[in-house]
Amino acid sequence: MGQTLLGGLLRAGRDPASVLVVDRRAGRARELHERFGVRVVAAGVGAGAGEGVAAVRSADTVVVAVKPQDIAELLDALAPHLRDDVLLVSLAAGVTTAAVEARLRPGTAVVRVMPNTPSLVDEGMAGLAGGSSVSDEDLATAEQLMRSCGRAVVLPEKHLDAVTALSGSGPAYVFYVVEAMVEAGVLLGLPRATATELVVQTVVGAGAMLRETGQHPTVLREQVTSPAGTTAAALRQLDDSGVRAALVSAVEAAWARSRQLSGD
């Protein structure tokens, strides 16, 4: 996700010379420099951090894009080198702003972000929540950062588990349905490549209709559903199979798991 955000920033017009990437793997750092033209520093964390991590002392915004289990050690290494007025944006899933703030200088501005994988194609959706010391300007900066690879919404942190369940995990639900529809097409005799093309474009088109028309999904669904027609027959089967209830339960399960991981 860090590389995705980096690519989005540069496509949005950010000067590569203004971006510093710190990566614990020297080979990876060289790869990012060669691909994006940004400044890079290879640095470990903890006892192996050395002066590499100290390179962040000049940054006014620091984005932490690591796995949740790695963030505590990284923050401990970063903390002595961060500016007093720095904005720290955390992409670590399930790690609360309070947990991040506890390892930094009191008063450090922290914004927690829950992005999703369509950010890879600049169609991401991110939820942002500010910590106890963020200003409106800090939130606006973080929001602009995430909008470089999609859309973003700012909301209270108590809602980020729901964001995780809906948009964070949401692409997987869509891919799951696409898989099933493609398999149905193959079952009905279509070549797999043709079935895939039909389903993928249908999903893309349906999503575009939702966004561009602004109409409620119920209205759009009813426009496709003729009385006693093929769509009506399919929808009746979905209702009889409890698909709607299963989707609601699935999102609720993801929400519950997110709360568990964040310690709520």
Distance CA 244, CA 222 (A): 16
Q: Give pLDDT, residue 42.
A: 67
Answer for the pair 66, 78: CB distance below 8 angstroms, yes or no: no
pLDDT tens across 218-234, in order? 999 999 999 999 999 99
Sign of CA dihedral 200, 206, 210, 216: negative
The SS3 call for residue 63 is: strand
Distance CA 173, CA 151 (A): 19
pLDDT tens across 20-50, in order? 888 777 777 788 888 888 888 766 544 444 4
Q: Give pLDDT, residue 52.
A: 67
Question: In 159-175, which positions are buried (b, 16+ CB within 10 angstroms) versus exposed (e)?
Answer: ebbbbbbbbbbbeeeee
Name which of 76-80, 110-114, 151-155, 160-164 the model is least confident about: 76-80
Q: Which domains does the chain have, with CATH numbers?
A: 2-155 (3.40.50.720), 170-261 (1.10.3730.10)
Distance CA 169, CA 181 (A): 19
pLDDT at 145 over 80: yes
Q: Give pLDDT, residue 1.
A: 80
- Whether the model clears a pTM of 0.85, i.e. scores above it, the answer is yes
Q: What percent of the chain has pLDDT over 90?
A: 69
Q: Give pLDDT, residue 47.
A: 42
Answer for the pair 163, 152: CB distance below 8 angstroms, yes or no: no
Structure token digits, residue 189: 């005799």
Q: Give pLDDT, residue 46.
A: 47
pLDDT at 214 over 90: yes
Distance CA 151, CA 125 (A): 5
Answer for the pair 162, 192: CB distance below 8 angstroms, yes or no: no
* Averaged pLDDT for residues 72-100: 92
In this structure, what is the dihedral angle of CA atoms 244, 246, 247, 248, given to the nearest 10 degrees?
A: 90
Full DSSP string of 89-124? EE--TT--HHHHHTTS-TT-EEEEEE--GGGGGT-E
Q: What are phi and psi of 257, to 5 degrees?
A: -70, -40
pLDDT tens across 86-97, in order? 999 999 988 999
pLDDT tens across 160-213, in order? 999 999 999 999 999 999 999 999 999 999 999 999 999 999 999 999 999 999
The mean predicted confidence, pLDDT, of the chain is 91
Q: What are phi and psi of 215, to 5 degrees?
A: -80, 155
Structure token digits, residue 215: 């109409």
